[in-house]
Amino acid sequence: VPLDLKQLVVGAERIVHGKVIATEVYWLNGRIVTDAKVLVEETVKGDAEKLIIVRRLGGVVDGIGQKTWGSATLDLGEEVLVFLEQRNQSGVWHPVGMAQGKFSVTKTATGEKRALRDVREIAFRREGALPLNVDRHGVISGARRLGDLMKDIEAHLKGTR
pTM for this entry: 0.85
pLDDT at 150 over 50: yes
Judged by DSSP in three states, 93 sits in strand
In this prediction, residue 91 carries a pLDDT of: 86
**Quick one: what percent of the chain has pLDDT higher than 90?**
67
Q: How many Cα neighbours within 13 Å face the side chain of 59? A: 21
pLDDT at 138 over 60: no
Alpha-carbon distances, residue 119 vs 52, 109, 128, 131, 137 (angstroms): 23, 25, 15, 9, 9
Question: What span, in angstroms and rounded, lies between the C-alpha atoms of 117 and 103?
Answer: 4
The mean-pLDDT minimum among 20-29, 32-41, 51-60, 131-140 falls in: 131-140
Place 13 in a pLDDT band, splitting at 50, 70 and 90. Answer: very high
67-80: pLDDT as tens digits: 988 889 999 999 99
| H runs (alpha helix) in 2-72 | 5-11
In this prediction, residue 126 carries a pLDDT of: 55
In contact, 83 and 15? CB cutoff 8 Å: yes
Going by C-alpha positions, the residue among 155, 20, 3, 16 that lies closest to residue 86 is 16
Place 119 in a pLDDT band, splitting at 50, 70 and 90. Answer: confident
In this prediction, residue 127 carries a pLDDT of: 55
In this prediction, residue 3 carries a pLDDT of: 87
